């Protein structure tokens, strides 16, 4: 008997379209849940007044000692004030160690000026790096890491300013066992950009850090499904890092390896050493992280749009070699691509107008972003800067997919003026100088960064309200 030619196929294009539309709508709902977790957590953590830690008034011998490590390279924006905030910590037992790679570093005169201003602080500077890999920050940290008096280390980037109570509150979190029972072994701070520069790239970077980045950073740490840490301001035990071998595989406390490579030097081969160290603490030691209730104020200086794009390209390529699946999904967590495909899905399922859905989508999206901004800053973008903020926000959102598309097809990055090639798991190797890249050729007209001299240094006004 011949088969019935009128019988419909089991899977039709319309059925596939219907299924994909439902999947897309589900993903949209999941992402909105994550965004709202970030927004509500930001409200809860950062809108309430931060109480003074009881340890601030204790005698030095009754609280854990902390070694504050500040690796430096060149004249970062607002450098003097960033570093000076370290001296103002309301904590009775800490030391400060600055470090530079060589005696010619432009940051050294700034450090010497601070040591003269605070002669009784006990702060010191270590000149001379110890090369253990291609990562200059790790090379710069090896000696202060080894010579620090205390087991608790607070590693702060040079472009970060912190409030006076930040250290005491971070130590409280680090030394208190949470109700969940998992020991907290790393405390970090969400960065908030302080932008006084008038360049477009700086404004776009500020809009990114203070909305999308902060929202997702806070949300992922609140959900605590995996490690999510950047190295602007991290507090941890040296004894924990000394147990890490970089494998990111669980091992017991008495684990012994045939390899002698452990501790900070293991991470000199990575570009994102802060993220890998945090992942090691999470996966190798089975310990957890927590966000402080304080903020790391990140001073943003002059930055062209080209600088901003290359910075985003670099970190997408780093993530691609560390968490490929998350990197592939990244465009579908951004407002433009996610909104576009969801508009098609909603129209397919319910016949809703594309333009109506997108208008509601972008309106709701920026409301959440502004809410996160207000939670961190204590106010909405200031009058007089609102127009430039919204323009920068729109540019940032519009560039996400083109930047991602360019980034995922390459493996070469530029970092601190040198070129590197990304390898598996975030490792990097230097590459020989070559011709200008295609992106550089296209974007040269947008501006080129230049490192300021000590005579050109200008502080930025920063509010910690």
Do 316 and 404 contact (CB within 8 A), yes or no?
A: yes
The whole-number average pLDDT for the span 261-272 is 94
Mean pLDDT of 227-248: 95
CATH architecture designation of domain 14-465: Alpha-Beta Complex (3.90)
Question: Where does residue 430 rank: exposed (0-12), middle (13-18), buried (19+ CB within 10 A)?
Answer: exposed
Beta-carbon contacts of residue 290 (< 8 Å; ≥ 6 apart): 173, 178, 184, 186, 187, 188, 221
List the catalytic residues. 274
Among 37-46, 82-91, 445-454, which is the least confidently predicted range? Answer: 445-454
Q: Residues 357-364: what's their mean pLDDT? A: 98
Q: What span, in angstroms and rounded, lies between the C-alpha atoms of 15 and 8?
A: 12
The whole-number average pLDDT for the span 102-130 is 97
Q: Does 79 score more than 90 pLDDT?
A: yes
User: What pLDDT score does 179 carry?
Assistant: 73
SS3 270: strand
Q: Which of 308, 311, 295, 299 is nearest to 159 (CA)?
A: 299
Q: Which among 123, 124, 141 has a CA at the least distance from the CA of 132?
A: 141
> Closest Cα to residue 172, out of 72, 321, 63, 273?
63
Q: Are strands 428-430 and 418-422 parallel, antiparallel or unpaired?
A: antiparallel
**Pairwise CA distance, residues 58 & 372, whole Å:** 35
Question: Residue 347 pLDDT more than 90?
Answer: yes
Band (444; pLDDT cuts 50, 70, 90): very low
How many separate helices (H) and strands (E) can be counted in the chain?
A: 15, 11
Q: Which strands make up the sheet holding 412-415, listed edge to edge?
A: 412-415, 418-422, 428-430
- Say whether 349 sits in a helix, a strand or coil: helix
Can you say whether the dihedral through the CA atoms of 197, 199, 200, 202 is positive or negative?
Answer: negative
User: How far is 214 from 202, CA to CA, in rounded Å?
Assistant: 16
What is the H or E stretch that residue 394 is in?
A: helix 386-408
pLDDT at 438 over 70: no
Cα 253–chain centre separation: 29
Q: What is the pLDDT of residue 212?
A: 97
Q: How far apart are CA 273 and CA 268, in angstroms?
A: 7
What is the model's pTM? 0.89
Give the SS3 label for residue 235: strand
Position 341 scores a pLDDT of: 97
Q: In angstroms, how far is the first alpha carbon of the chain from the final one? A: 83
Taking residues 86-98, what's their average pLDDT?
Answer: 98
pLDDT, the chain, mean: 90
Mean pLDDT across 76-92: 97
What integer is the mean pLDDT of 120-131? Answer: 96
What pLDDT score was predicted for residue 257? Answer: 57
Return the structure tokens found at 318. 């780093």
d(CA 154, CA 85): 13
* Nearest-angstrom CA–CA distance, 454 and 303: 18
Q: With cut-offs at 50, 70 and 90, classify the pLDDT of residue 260.
A: low
């Amino acid at each position: 008997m011949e088969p019935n030619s009128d019988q419909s196929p089991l899977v039709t294009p319309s059925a596939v379209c219907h299924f994909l539309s439902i999947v897309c709508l589900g993903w949209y709902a999941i992402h909105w849940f994550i965004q709202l977790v970030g927004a509500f957590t930001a409200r809860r953590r950062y809108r309430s007044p931060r109480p003074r830690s009881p340890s601030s008034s204790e005698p030095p011998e009754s609280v854990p000692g902390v070694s504050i490590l500040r690796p430096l390279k060149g004249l970062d924006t607002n450098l003097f004030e960033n570093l000076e905030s370290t001296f103002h910590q309301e904590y009775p037992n800490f030391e400060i160690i600055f470090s530079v790679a060589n005696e010619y570093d432009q940051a050294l005169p700034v450090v010497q000026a601070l040591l003269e201003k605070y002669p009784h602080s006990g702060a010191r500077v270590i000149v001379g790096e110890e090369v253990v890999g291609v990562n200059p920050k790790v090379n710069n940290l090896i000696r202060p890491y080894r010579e620090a008096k205390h087991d608790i280390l607070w590693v702060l980037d040079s472009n970060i300013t912190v409030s006076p109570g930040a250290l005491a509150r971070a130590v409280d979190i680090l030394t208190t066992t949470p109700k969940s029972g998992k020991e907290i072994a790393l405390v970090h701070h969400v960065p908030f950009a302080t932008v006084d520069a008038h360049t477009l790239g700086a404004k776009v970077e500020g809009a990114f850090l203070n909305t999308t980045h902060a929202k997702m950073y806070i949300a992922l740490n609140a959900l605590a499904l995996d490690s999510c840490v950047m190295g602007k301001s991290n507090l941890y035990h040296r004894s924990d890092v000394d147990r890490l071998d970089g494998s990111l595989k669980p091992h017991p406390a008495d684990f012994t390896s045939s390899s002698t490579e452990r501790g900070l030097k293991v991470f000199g081969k990575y570009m994102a050493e802060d993220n890998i160290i945090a992942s090691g603490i999470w996966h190798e030691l089975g310990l957890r992280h927590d966000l402080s209730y304080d903020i790391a104020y990140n001073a943003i200086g002059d930055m062209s749009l080209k600088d901003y794009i290359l910075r985003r390209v670099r970190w997408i390529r780093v993530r691609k070699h560390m968490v490929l699946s998350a990197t592939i999904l990244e465009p579908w967590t951004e407002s433009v691509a996610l909104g576009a495909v969801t508009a098609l899905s909603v129209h397919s399922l319910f016949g809703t107008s594309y333009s109506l859905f997108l208008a509601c989508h972008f309106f709701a999206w920026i409301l959440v972003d502004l809410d996160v901004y207000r939670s961190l800053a204590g106010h909405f973008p200031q009058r007089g800067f609102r127009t430039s903020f919204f323009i920068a926000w729109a540019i940032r959102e519009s560039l996400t997919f083109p930047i991602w598309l360019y980034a995922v097809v390459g493996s070469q990055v530029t970092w601190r003026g040198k070129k590197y090639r990304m390898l598996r798991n975030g490792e990097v190797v230097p590459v020989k100088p070559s011709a200008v890249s295609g992106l550089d050729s296209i974007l040269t007209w947008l501006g080129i960064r230049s490192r300021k001299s000590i005579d050109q240094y200008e502080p930025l006004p920063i509010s910690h309200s």
